[in-house]
Structure 1
Amino acid sequence: MSRLTGKSKVTLGIPTLEDVERVAATIRPSDRRDMEGLHPGMSIRDIIMRDVEYSRVVYGLYMGGDIHAVFGVVPLAPGKGVPWLTAATAVDLNPLPFARISRRMLDMVQKCFPVLDTWVCAENRVSVNWHRWCGFEFAENRVLVGRDEYFRAVRRIEIINMEDR
């Protein structure tokens, strides 16, 4: 496993099937609600496993050796990907270490995917706040997807690099 910085309490690694199943079994309510709204009738485990299967990169986020989240990027087009993150309830109990490494984690995957393009549930304040914190720009209009309304959110590496100057 590796740390994104020497100070980070969070380490990245390749998740095992057991790790994915542990996150699915302890998924935070906000992630469960989003997944059930987008994929009615599918189990949480099956939804996550499908995301893992289609992703070009998949990481487990660990703290104290325990899996806390699974993160990946599904290729959409050359240089463009759809990021996803599914977290266990433990992340909500101690979100600061995960928030601190989030931008660096996205910067890392944007070496392969300069444009990250996703949909964020308008009712999921945790997800909306995380995407804003990470530098995603939101479309003004909401779109009905499944049972909920979503914002389109895009993070371009050029925007992030300008902010760092």
Structure 2
Amino acid sequence: MSLAERACVITIGIPSIHDLETVAADIRVSDRRDMQGLHPGKPVYEILMGDVALSRMVYGLYLRGKIAAVFGVVPSGPGIGTPWLAASTCVERNKLSFARMSVRMLDMIQKPFPVLDTWVCAENSMSLHWHSWCGFEFASETVRIGRDRFYRAVRIVNKQKEKI
């Protein structure tokens, strides 16, 4: 197999209900833990559909044509959005390609939302690293939300960086 054949091809599209069901059924352990920490007792698919219903935009990431993740942005104020992402286990096998695509993905969704403001579980090192890689800045203190502690994380474009 050539290097080109092994290359990871990721595309963005509009996910179907089937795509959402597929991601929910094969969600990464870290995403499942975070979702259930915020919404104890609620099924992952129900949590995911709640995020979809509140979002202004929802996209799917496709790895070689198969759904790998879904993401969106919930409006939280003028020019401010709360991003969310739910990824399947195949993302863990393609971390570098996913990380590279993530910055472009966030740049795309920041056109209508110059400020992305979210919460990152302090115990989820994968999520902390991903948010840092993507240019989010973290508050120094954590806040308890649900059963876990979270850092507030903000990513701002086209503006002077504000204090968190």
Q: Deviations over 1:3-50 (max 9, x none)?
A: xxxx97110000000000000000000000000000011100000001
Kept in 1, the 8 Å contact 2:8–2:63? The answer is no
- TM-score w.r.t. structure 1 length? 0.91
- Is residue 2:56 matched to residue 1:31? no
* Structure 1 Cα separation of the partners of residues 103 and 8 of structure 2: 13
Structure 2 residue runs of 5 or longer lacking an equivalent are 1-6
**What is the total number of aligned residue pairs between the two structures?**
155
* Structure 2 Cα separation of the partners of residues 104 and 159 of structure 1: 18
Amino acid at match of 1:45: Y
| Other-structure match for 2:3 | none
* Structure 1 Cα separation of the partners of residues 146 and 11 of structure 2: 34
Give me the identity figure in percent.
61
Structure 1 residue runs of 5 or longer lacking an equivalent are 1-6
- TM-score w.r.t. structure 2 length? 0.91
* Structure 2 Cα separation of the partners of residues 104 and 60 of structure 1: 14
Tell me how far 1:95 sits from its aligned partner.
1.0
* Structure 2 Cα separation of the partners of residues 156 and 9 of structure 1: 28
- Relative to structure 2, which stretch is displaced further, 97-106 or 20-29? 97-106
- Is residue 2:143 matched to residue 1:138? no
Tell me how far 1:158 sits from its aligned partner.
2.9
Kept in 2, the 8 Å contact 1:135–1:160? The answer is no
Equivalence map 1:86-165=2 (5 Å): 86-158=86-158
* Structure 2 Cα separation of the partners of residues 37 and 122 of structure 1: 12
Amino acid at match of 1:64: R
